[in-house]
Amino acid sequence: MRLFASAREAAGTGSDTIDGTTVGEVLRGAEERYGERFSEVLTTCRVWVNGDETDTGADIGPDDELAVLPPVSGGAT
């Protein structure tokens, strides 16, 4: 699992390995490991597996990469 921006800050790490057979199981494991602040951040995030946006019911294997991406703001004005 790869964590970016505020998800990384809430977890205190940019990557971790959490067992699960679905995206939802992995995310629940991350919430248990990292606590309430991470859970709050997760509600605003998009989740991708191997570069494709996905949902919590999708299957995930040990060689897949799950990425948690918070919304991005800013840019040129």
Domains of the chain, each with CATH number or no CATH = 2-69 (3.10.20.30)
What pTM value is reported for the model?
0.90
Predicted local confidence at residue 20, as pLDDT? 97
Using CA atoms, how far apart are residues 77 and 64, in angstroms rounded to an integer? 37
Strand 46-49, strand 66-69: pairing:
antiparallel
pLDDT tens-digit profile of 6-58?
999 999 999 999 999 999 999 999 999 999 999 999 999 999 999 999 999 99
Report the SS3 class of residue 43.
coil
Residue type, position 30, single letter: A
Stated as kind and residue range, the H or E segment containing 64 is none
Across the chain, where does the E strand assignment appear? Answer: 2-3, 46-49, 52-53, 66-69
Q: Which amino acid is at 10?
A: A
